[in-house]
Structure 1
Amino acid sequence: MNHVTKLVLEMGPLVLFFAINSITHNLMTATLVFVLATVVALAVSFLINRTIPMMPLIGGVFVIIFGGLTLYLQDELFIKIKPTIVNLMFAAILFGGLAMGKLFLKLVLETAFQVTDEGWRRLTWRWGLFFVVLAIANEVVWRNFGTDFWVAFKVWAVTPITLLFGLAQVPVILKHQLPEEEKAEA
């Protein structure tokens, strides 16, 4: 799958969520579109690759569960707390792995980056803390601002901040890269 298709499948449902909410100012309608677009994106991803990458699958399951609860119970709370729960879950998995001596981030990303275990530990701490910060930010925004602001924050602030945070990790990746001969063995 090319990068543009991957980006559209991963970001498309979220952009549609924002667009529909902006047009209708109705979170229920936007949530319905979000859930349906997520199901379509996962299905298309499967048809193209004969598999669904782990992170989009996990995110998609949470969208379907929390979006479904939002729609079924007609309560915005569920879609608004989804980012908090997902981010805290990711942080707990990363920190729990560290406590058990496991580098779960390495398991997910080692095909993309070959770094030392020390590098993976540093990245795991950083990403774990970042997920906690995202969870706190989500709680502050949905509890203190209107729904339209929360949706815009979710799409236009969290996504770029996450990309910038990822880019800020490049020096750690470069500093802890495996030597070329170890990369070949990995």
Structure 2
Amino acid sequence: MSPKLKAALDYGPLIVFLAVFLLYRDQDVMLWGQTYPGLILATLVFVPLTVLANAVLWKMTGELSVMQLVTLVVVVVFGGLTVWLNDPRFIKMKPTLIYLTFAALLAIGAALGRNWLGRALGEAIPLSPEGWRILTRRIIWFCLGLAALNEVIWRTQSDTTWVVFKTVGLIVLTMLFFVGNAPLFGRHALQPQDNGDSPR
């Protein structure tokens, strides 16, 4: 798949979500006889776009990762509740649930001796078994930290602050996390002659 198309499918719904919110954040919109604030309207647009993006991705690649499926289910359920109940708290709790779910899945995999992270990222980041173990622990703590940070921000800050955090802040923090782990990737990178254990 073209990198540009992949990026559009991954980030397009988020960009549209941010744009719709910024356009309507200071006004209410009447739909189906009910008044919706800007955040609810943005969610109403975001959910079907996310479903469409994942459908295109599945059509073109023939598969969706566990992380993509979990995210899709949470978006549909919590986004749907947000619109149905006209209550923005559900969409604000969505990142918390997603990150807690990722942390739990990785922790279960580690406890079972399974390299689930390697299965998801092995082609992009070839690491030794020890490297995957270290990275898995770090990502578990990183996900827990993001879940806690999301709870603090949506409960204490304005809708605008939370939306910018969700659409821009989380991406930036994730990029910084992987940049900060560059030394780990260098120390534990698999060389062509290495015969490290394959991800299970």
Using the size of structure 2 for normalisation, the TM-score is: 0.86
**2: CA distance, partners of 1:83 / 1:24:** 22
Please state which structure has a larger fraction of its residues in helix.
1
Stretches of structure 1 that go unaligned for 5 or more consecutive residues are: none
User: Does the CA-based 8 Å contact 1:10-1:56 persist in structure 2?
Assistant: no
CA shift, 1:53, in A, is 4.1
Residue of structure 1 in register with 2:20 after alignment = 20
Structure 1 stretch displaced more, 58-67 or 134-143: 58-67
Counterpart among 132, 137, 145 of residue 157 in structure 2: 145
State the Cα distance separating 1:158 from its structure 2 match: 1.1
Structure 2 Cα separation of the partners of residues 147 and 7 of structure 1: 26
Measured in 2, the distance between the counterparts of 1:29 and 1:100 equals 42
How many residues are paired up? 186
Q: Which runs of 5+ in 2 are unaligned?
A: 26-37
Equivalent of residue 104 in structure 1, options 116, 124, 144? 116
Give the conservation status (yes or no) of the 8 Å contact 1:98–1:121.
Answer: yes
Verify: 1:136 aligned to 2:112, yes or no. Answer: no
Q: Is the 8 A contact 1:142 1:150 kept in 2?
A: yes
Q: Quote how far apart the aligned CAs of 1:184 are.
A: 9.5
Match of 2:69 among 53, 57, 60: 57
* Equivalent-residue separation in structure 2 for 1:53 and 1:92 (angstroms): 16
The C-alpha deviation readout for 1:105-141, integer Å capped at 9, x for no partner, is: 1121112222111100110011111001100110000
The 5 A counterparts of 1:81-92 are 81-92=93-104
| Identity in percent | 39
| Aligned amino acid, residue 117 of structure 1 | P
Distance in 2, matches of 1:167 and 1:68, equals: 35
Q: Shift of the alpha carbon at 1:82?
A: 0.7
Supply the RMSD in Å over aligned alpha carbons.
Answer: 1.8
Residue 163 of structure 1: CA displacement? 1.1
2:166 to 147, 154, 158: 154
Superposition pairs for residues 154-173 of structure 1, below 5 Å? 154-173=166-185
Alpha-carbon distance, 1:23 to partner: 0.5
* TM-score, L = length of structure 1: 0.92
Whether contact under 8 Å (2:99, 2:144) holds in the other structure is yes
